Structure 1
Amino acid sequence: MSQNPRPLMRQDLRPARLAPGDVLRVGAVGLRARRARVVLSALGIAIGIATMVAVIGLSESSRADLMARLDRLGTNLLTAEAGKDAQGGRLKLPKNAVAMVERIGPVRQATASADVDARIRRSDVVPEERTAGVTTQAVRTDLLAALGGEVRTGRWLDRAGERLPVTVLGAVAAERLGVTRPGETIMMNDVRVVVVGVLEPLDLVPTLDRVAMVGFPAAERWFGFDGHPTTVFERSTDESVADVRAVLGRTLNPGDGAGVQVSRPSDALAAKAATDAGLTRLMLALGAVALLVGGVGVANTMVVSVLERRREIGLRRALGATRGAIRLQFVTESLLLSALGGTAGALLGSAATFGFARVQGWTPVVPPWALAGGLAATLVIGVVAGLYPAVRAARLDPTTALNAA
């Protein structure tokens, strides 16, 4: 005996749900239909993400290079300079200042330099008042090793050279004087001096880049130097830098330790890193503004898309698509559009970082968190930018939408 099936009731009808793959395909169709507009909208997102990734990458690359230089040069170098008296005159450190500093237990190495009253000219036909901004200093032969410096061309002062009228030029001094190779001569006062070497830039003591250096004995013999050092450099163990710093001034001037100015050159490089970090934050803010503008462009594109596709939306609603399905379609389109721009921006920012870092001689560093954060930001932008157009599309009445021109 056959039984008639129970007729379907309204409550038995269940709207079909789109599978994730179907959602992506439906969202991609809307993008493929308006490619030019999609490219322009994605470009705004790409510029914002590329800016943020490149700023972070270049900042990290620069900081990594700076930290590598600090590790190579060491952070245990202290300098002690003679201060000024109440009348503004320059105080003098004792002639045996280096020996006094070497008696401090943790000190491993000590050396010194001194200002010398010698005017420098390229040749004897140049007027004495034209010094090219280069000064003269007397130095000990162990100065270069203590500072971790390197000779670009020629050689450094040795035991014989420190007694002769020869000089080693800092990198900037050689450039200003137009000296390109060892063996050329310059004038110090009325003494013709032979250039025996040119140094690479000294990161820890950049003031020496603008100096012509002669030995202590030569400065005393040829230029009336009195033998009192102006600056003492010392290196100690890393863990004892603070303790040495506390007693260095009193060691050099037992009567008035405050008359000696003690500094740590590596602090200047650390301060530079902090300054770079502040600039990075500023550039990130500019990148965020560009990303916000890109988000507005995405939202505008999606609103226009809803207006242009009212008949399509009405037809889908008439065929049974729920409001949730319509909302999901347009949010997915917005997410895909933002993800397209974010991916392009991340690639562009990474390429810019690698290219610029290579030109500067840095090791390129693009933190993974920067890429992940950039892509996450694009997804947030996509959801926010697509939410209003999606809700507006879902609220369209099917009959009204089908009758739209």
Structure 2
Amino acid sequence: MTITSTRRHAAGRPADGVADSRPVRLAPLDILGLGMLGVRTRKMRAALSALGISIGIATLIVVTGIPASSQKALMKELSALGTNMLQAVPANQDPPVLLPPESVDMARRIGPVTAASAVANTHTEVLRNDRQGEADYTGLTVLASKVDLLRTINAEMGSGRFLGANTEKFPTAVLGSVAASRLGIPKVTAGQPAPQIYIDRQWFTVIGVLEKTPLSPDIDRSVLVGWDAARSMLRFDGHPTVIYLKAEESQIEAVRDVLPETINPELPGVVQISRPSDALTAKRATESTFSALFLGLAGVALLVGGIGVANTMVISVLERRREIGLRRALGANRNQIRSQFLTESVVLSGLGGLVGTVIGVLATMGYATHQNWQPVIPLTSVTAGFGGAVLIGMLAGVYPSVRAARLTPTEALATT
């Protein structure tokens, strides 16, 4: 018998005919292949294990996506209640105080202000026609209006169109919902002769009728005419009666504090500013509540999925002890065994996370569409869902992989 020496050459290579006793280093693809071995050979168990993590991740996305969609719809409704709006009016005193004609432009210069407009009482009467007299008082107010009033007060047209740059200088008018009813002009129909009303012994053509404006009920009982037309035809002096503003919600209190000095620097004390809507407080409280709810539900969903994967991997190690022993006997070291089971755990969790993400996104979009909400899928939920699944797989596979690596070949092969 020839005894072969195990001494190495100086270059680090084994001598001719000498076997290299160093452990073989597995490439990442080889480790992935070993990790997929348990998935391929035990498809049903792998599917059930992936299903557990899928349900957890899908739950994570659904319990964040559906409330987020609902929250956005609620925030939109609360915003429609004027959470970002303020009104400025002169103080009611004798003699009357007038706001400067340039006050609207001055208000627009405030940084957080996104829109500013105004109306002014022209102190004129409106009648349905020239045959009516003073006894036929309608109780309506004729207001001079800026052309950007509509978007500033979140109003909408019921029919026709609002005042614009091409109509504000001419005798045209837009009716509030109550004014339209009292004057017997419920709507303006395209293609038909436009109705006319009698203001201060002059004919004005009605070009539009507003929907109800819950944020500014005074507009409902008003007839709106162009700012320039009021000055040239109704002897309007150019001083606004009410200034409407929209500002960034986060800065609404700061805008309210500087508004009097801005629109009337000489007499800021005679300017009255409405306080922010109570809906703003409700909106901020709702955002805080939803954020806390998201965090709690997401944590529970991830915990359930992680326990399921850990349980599956522990059972897998117990059932495959003979396989582990055989691989150890054929030369696999502990690191390779550990990498195999840790990779299998990550693969199972990753597949489950991917499927769960798809299910969660589709379920959220379907429910939101059914409720006529705009679907909102938080990007953090999607990334945290898949990333969390992979992380859970790593954590859940640590103990089973370490336990598998500690088995000696004789101990594992002796298992019946």
Q: Judge same fold: TM > 0.5, yes or no.
A: yes
Aligned to 1:247: 261
Deviation at 1:382, TM superposition (A): 1.0
1:14 corresponds, among 16, 22, 25, to: 22
With over 3 angstroms needed to count, the CA separation of the structure-2 counterparts of 1:31 and 1:139, relative to structure 1, is farther
**Is 1:50 the equivalent of 2:58?**
yes
Q: Is the 8 A contact 1:23 1:329 kept in 2?
A: yes
1:199-218 alignment runs, 5 A limit: 199=211, 207-208=215-216, 213-215=220-222
- Pairing 1:262–2:274 present: yes
Figure out how many residues of one structure are paired with residues of the other and give that number: 328
Query: Do the aligned residues in 2 keep the contact of 1:57 with 1:364 (CA within 8 Å)?
Result: yes
State the AA in 2 paired with 1:384. L
Mapping of 1:125-140 within 5 angstroms? 140=143
Q: Which runs of 5+ in 2 are unaligned?
A: 8-17, 109-115, 122-138, 164-170, 189-207, 225-240
- For residue 288 of structure 1, report the CA deviation from its aligned partner: 2.1
2:340 & 2:368 partners in 1: Cα distance? 42
Q: 8 Å contact 1:146–1:235 — kept in the other structure?
A: no
The answer for unaligned runs of 5 or more in structure 1 is 83-90, 115-135, 170-180, 184-195, 218-230
What residue identity is the alignment partner of 1:36? M
Residue 319 of structure 2 corresponds to residue 316 of structure 1: no
1 CA distance for matches of 2:97 and 2:180? 23
Report which stretch shifted further, 380-389 or 155-164: 155-164
Change (3 A) 1:105 1:182: closer
Quickly say closer, same or farther: Cα 1:12–1:298, change in 2 above 3 A. Answer: same
Task: Return the letter of the residue paired with 2:4.
Answer: R
Aligned residues of 2:54 and 2:354 also touching (Cα < 8 A) = yes
Say if 1:32 and 1:337 are closer, same or farther in 2 by CA, change over 3 A.
same
Give the Cα–Cα distance (whole angstroms) in 1 for the partners of residues 161 and 276 of structure 2.
25
Q: SS at the partner of 2:220?
A: strand
SS at match of 1:167: helix
Structure 1 distance, partners of 2:344, 2:24, is 20
- How many Å apart are 1:59 and its aligned residue? 3.9
Measured after TM superposition, the shift of residue 245 of structure 1 is 1.5
Offset from partner CA, 1:62-116 (integer Å, 9 cap, x none): 769979x98xx996x531379xxxxxxxx957897775575466046543599xx
Note the 1:119-198 alignment, pairs <5 A.
Answer: 140=143, 142=145, 145-148=148-151, 149-155=154-160, 166-167=178-179, 182=187, 197=209
1:126-157 C-alpha deviation (Å, 9 max, x unpaired): xxxxxxxxxx9968463884241453532479
CA distance in 2, matches of 1:80, 1:252: 16
Residue 168 of structure 1, CA deviation: 5.8
- Given candidates 23, 28, 37, the residue that maps to 2:31 is 23
**What is the match of residue 288 of structure 1?**
299
Letter in 2 for 1:50: A
Rounded Cα–Cα distance in structure 2 between residues aligned with 1:37 and 1:94: 86
1:347 aligns with 2:327: no
Q: Distance in 2 between matches of 1:247 and 1:354?
A: 48
**Distance in structure 2 (CA, Å) of the matches to 1:212 and 1:246:** 23
* TM-score under structure 2 length normalisation: 0.59
Residue 106 of structure 1 corresponds to which residue in structure 2? 106
Residues 296-354 of structure 1: per-residue CA shift (max 9 Å, x gap): 11000001111111222222222222122111111011000110111112323333455
Find 1:300's aligned residue among 296, 311, 318.
311
Cα shift readout 1:358-383 (whole Å, capped 9, x = no counterpart): 6646486653x654443322222111
Query: Contact (CA 8 Å) 1:167, 1:213: kept in 2 or not?
Result: yes
Secondary structure of 1:47 counterpart: helix
The answer to whether the 8 A contact 1:358-1:364 is kept is no
Report the 3-state secondary structure (helix = DSSP H, G, I; strand = E; otherwise coil) of the residue aligned with 2:306. helix
RMSD over equivalenced CA pairs, Å: 5.3
**CA gap 1:243/1:286 in 2 versus in 1, 3 angstroms:** closer
Residue 30 of structure 1: how far off its partner (Å): 0.9
1:33 maps to which of 38, 41, 55 = 41
Instruction: Return the alpha-carbon distance in structure 1 between the equivalents of residues 269 and 378 of structure 2.
Output: 53
1:233 to 243, 258, 264: 243
* Residues 50, 346 of structure 1: 8 Å contact kept: yes
How far, CA to CA, are the matches of 1:377 and 1:61 in structure 2? Answer: 25
| SS across alignment from 1:305 | helix
Query: Based on CA coordinates, which of the two structures has the bigger radius of gyration?
Result: 2
Supply the distance in 2 between the matched residues of 1:197 and 1:163 (Cα, whole angstroms).
5
| Structure 2 counterpart of 1:331 | 342
SS of 1:106's equivalent in the other structure is helix
Distance in 2, matches of 1:57 and 1:64, equals: 11
Give me the whole-angstrom Cα distance separating, in 2, the residues matched to 1:58 and 1:366.
10
